[in-house]
Amino acid sequence: MDKLLNDIAPASTTDVAEEKTVDTGTEIAPGAEAAPESDPVTLGGTAVSPGAAFGHAQMFAEGELEIPHFTIEKTQTRAEFTRLRAAVHTVDKEFGELIAELNREEDAPTEAIAFLELHRQLLNDDSIISETQDIIRERLINAEWALSLKLEDIRRSFEEIDDDYLADRIDDIAQVIERVQRVLSGRRRPADTVSRMMSESSVILVAEDFSPADILILKRRQDISITGLIIEKGAATSHSSILARSLEIPTLVNVSNACEVIQTDDVLLMDADKGIVIVNPQKDGMPQMSERIRKMNAVRLRQRKLKATHCVTADGCAVSLLANLALPEDAKEAMSNGADGVGLFRSEFLFMNRPNFPSEDEQFETYTRVVKAMRGKIVTIRTMDLGGDKLPSREALESIGEDPDKPIANPSLGRRAIRFSLSHTDVFLTQLRAILRAGATGRVRLLVPMLSWMTEADIVLSYVRRAQEELKDRGVKYAENIQIGGMVEVPSAALCLKQFLKRLDFVSVGTNDLIQYLLAVDREDPDVGYLYDPLHPAVLSMLYNCINTAHRAGKEISVCGEAAADPVFAFLLLGMGLRHFSMESARLLPIKEFMLAANAQDATALMRRIHRAHTIQDIRKHILEYFADHDELAAGFAASQVLCARPWQSFKDA
């Protein structure tokens, strides 16, 4: 039986890394020593987003993508206009030179010339420049920042457009604007890189680390067309990894020595499913890789057809699949992946990468954009989960009297999420008013992160009432009966859930944090990543109890942590009675395909067996046995990460 179980276990990233990784640190692995420099080297990592990619490496340096934000004096507006016009002129000249160069080349692709000419036309659109100048004049801000606001403006007006071709032109405008911003801020890549990035879509970005702020910028950058992401540090459940997953490209984290071994322009063959990247691979591996990429594309195409299919298990159990969003722009992707609504809008990302906190009006506009984009489907807005690794800028922190340099011993146990909100009640009330106003425009629910005390829930309810009164006094429309939910992320909330549910309308379980706090394993720290196991009997039993408690109280419960997007774990949750799952949009269709083939009664029976098991080994054994007999679930099983072998699993106890 053991042999059978080993054979059917999905490829574990740990196993692969152990088997295949060449440690290129101080000790050179056997064979690599004598090899010429360009010989292939295989590095191992942890998959954050699945898939395979092939392309050239581009090293990423910290801060490369940031756009400076600063305010100016009224007397400096003219100088800012001049800077803007000079930058436009420089970019125009560059376009001219590139077009002339391409025209001289005999075999230059005509599409490339047409593309550059279109960009040149957009650049010379007077209205963009004059309206950006208006923003500089009115808001007294630098040209780079004003251009970002202008782009946001244009994006909003493009959302109304029904024609796909025209709607796609926003990407061209964004590329042009960002090119001007780069000239303005003096952060220009070498010309060869820029032109390669423009003409190819096969760049794999390699970085030592990415902060959530970096990935956010990357999400917004339209001119970088990347096919893969390799991060030397990082853990699978960090906020950076969650955001990276929403980029929908194969991503590996915890790739030891990546920045030492890989250099810009190296050819990389990346197999995120197996947790490996081959640097400068030999040609004979290519046909298999292109065959895999072809198969993956075929799977995507097949899953796309399920967009409008209701998610009902094979034995007739309806399941709702909701999307997790980080930015308002993500709503479009949620809709195109057939989301039943938004289960988690991580609003804190609106508060990052800027020198101030967003105003009530700005937030209202952003939230209503999501409501509108979701066309009548439910939108759950989580109040800002700031703190920990998700920090506002220095200037923003200083503006509310915080010392950005104050050392914090344990950021994830500190003043994070609702604790941050309740210590900055002006900022919190501003956000509540914006959410309540958005609630008058559609189906909005409010979700509170990291509750650990009932008193916190009571205080939040009183602030919601106060925000409603303030809006009433102002004569502004707002949601009078907004549903208020809480995140179950701290074990104390899970254990006292019955009491919390007397105050709350619904709950959403954040397994990313719940596992971190229950098992005392920092979700950001790869050194203890092997202990971060959703299959720990304590985690399963806590989830099971929460689901039962919520059902007995007649309240909705969903799971919005990453575990909900893992097919095998989602099956266990289904067996515990969960019917609402929220996840990154990219996971919605693969999970829907899996659920359509799954049997909820079987899942319940499996959970019963697991419930009687006391060790992680027994739990794994029950799962493996079940899936060995169910070919219809094989694809989901192969994509699952929860069964990856972990070093301690040979121990007797969990």
Q: Which residues bind Mg ion (CB under 5 A)?
A: 489, 510, 513
Is 239 assigned a catalytic role?
yes
Residue number, 471 or 518, with CB nearest to ligand PEP: 518
Backbone angles phi, psi at 260, to 5 degrees: -80, -45
| Long-range pairs of 644-652 with CB within 8 A, sequence gap ≥ 24 | 644/10, 644/12, 644/13, 644/14, 644/15, 645/9, 645/12, 645/14, 645/15, 646/14, 646/530, 646/531, 646/533, 647/14, 647/530, 648/530, 648/531, 649/616, 649/617, 649/620, 652/615
CB of 298 to ligand PEP, least distance (A): 31
Residue number, 489 or 524, with CB nearest to Mg ion: 489
DSSP-derived secondary structure letter, 247: T
Q: Which of 489, 584, 593, 602 binds ligand PEP (CB under 6 A)?
A: 489
Is 119 assigned a catalytic role?
no
Q: Which of 346, 424, 433, 580 binds ligand PEP (CB under 6 A)?
A: 346
Pairing verdict, β 226-231 and 251-253:
parallel
C-alpha span between 442 and 379 (Å, rounded): 8
Q: Which of 510, 529, 590, 636 binds ligand PEP (CB under 6 A)?
A: 510
Counting residues that bind ligand PEP (by CB under 6 A) gives: 11
Contacted by 254, from Mg ion, ligand PEP, none: CB < 5 to 8 Å by type: none
Kindly indicate which of the ranges 142-150, 296-304, 333-341, 511-519 contains the residues binding ligand PEP, using the contact rule CB under 6 A.
511-519
Residue number, 281 or 526, with CB nearest to ligand PEP: 526
C-alpha span between 203 and 265 (Å, rounded): 9
Contacted by 576, from ligand PEP, Mg ion, none: CB < 5 to 8 Å by type: none
Spatial neighbors of 547 by CB under 8 A, at least 6 apart, are: 557, 573, 576, 577, 578
Residue number, 44 or 561, with CB nearest to ligand PEP: 561
CB of 451 to ligand PEP, least distance (A): 12
Handedness of CA 402, 407, 411, 413 (dihedral sign): negative
Helix ranges, 140-272 (H): 143-159, 164-184, 191-199, 212-220, 239-246, 258-261
Does position 561 interact with ligand PEP (CB under 6 A)? The reply is: yes
Does position 513 interact with ligand PEP (CB under 6 A)? The reply is: yes
C-alpha span between 7 and 25 (Å, rounded): 32
Contacted by 232, from Mg ion, ligand PEP, none: CB < 5 to 8 Å by type: none
Residue number, 181 or 412, with CB nearest to Mg ion: 412
C-alpha span between 132 and 145 (Å, rounded): 9
CB of 101 to Mg ion, least distance (A): 50
Does position 211 interact with ligand PEP (CB under 6 A)? The reply is: no
Does position 512 interact with ligand PEP (CB under 6 A)? The reply is: yes
**Distance from the Cα of residue 375 to its chain's centroid:** 22
Contacted by 482, from ligand PEP, Mg ion, none: CB < 5 to 8 Å by type: none
What are the angstrom distances between the C-alpha of 89 and each of 149, 173, 621?
A: 21, 16, 66
3-state secondary structure of 405: coil
Contacted by 346, from ligand PEP, Mg ion, none: CB < 5 to 8 Å by type: ligand PEP
User: Contacts with ligand PEP in 216-255 (CB under 6 A)?
Assistant: 242
CB of 489 to Mg ion, least distance (A): 5
Measured torsion, CA atoms of residues 147, 150, 152, 154, in degrees rounded to the nearest 10: -130
Amino acid present at 127: S
Q: Which of 58, 256, 431, 511 binds ligand PEP (CB under 6 A)?
A: 511
Q: Which of 119, 239, 536, 580 is catalytic?
A: 239
Residue number, 387 or 510, with CB nearest to Mg ion: 510
Does position 457 interact with ligand PEP (CB under 6 A)? The reply is: no
The closest residue (CB) to ligand PEP is 510
C-alpha span between 146 and 136 (Å, rounded): 6
Residue whose tokens read 């971190």: 516
Residue number, 345 or 627, with CB nearest to ligand PEP: 345
Q: Which of 457, 560, 576, 588 binds ligand PEP (CB under 6 A)?
A: 560
Sheet containing 251-253: order of strands? 41-44, 276-279, 267-271, 52-59, 203-207, 226-231, 251-253, 46-49
Does position 266 interact with ligand PEP (CB under 6 A)? The reply is: no
596: alpha, beta or left? (left if phi > 0; alpha if psi -120 to 50): alpha
CB of 541 to ligand PEP, least distance (A): 18
Kindly indicate which of the ranges 68-76, 284-292, 427-435, 506-514 contains the residues binding ligand PEP, using the contact rule CB under 6 A.
506-514
C-alpha span between 335 and 552 (Å, rounded): 32
CB of 264 to ligand PEP, least distance (A): 32
| Long-range pairs of 467-475 with CB within 8 A, sequence gap ≥ 24 | 467/429, 467/432, 467/433, 467/436, 468/436, 470/429, 470/433, 471/433, 471/436, 471/437
Does position 387 interact with ligand PEP (CB under 6 A)? The reply is: no
Kindly indicate which of the ranges 79-87, 268-276, 356-364, 508-516 contains the residues binding ligand PEP, using the contact rule CB under 6 A.
508-516
Contact 442, 372 (CB under 8 A): yes
C-alpha span between 143 and 88 (Å, rounded): 11
CB of 508 to Mg ion, least distance (A): 10
Residue number, 510 or 575, with CB nearest to ligand PEP: 510
CB of 417 to Mg ion, least distance (A): 7
Q: Which of 259, 311, 317, 560 is catalytic?
A: 560
CB of 402 to ligand PEP, least distance (A): 20
CB of 284 to ligand PEP, least distance (A): 41
What b/e string do you get for 144-157 counting C-beta neighbours within 10 Å, with b at 16 or more? bbbbbebbbebbee
* Residues binding ligand PEP (CB under 6 A): 242, 344, 346, 385, 489, 510-513, 560-561
Q: Which residues are annotated as catalytic?
A: 239, 560
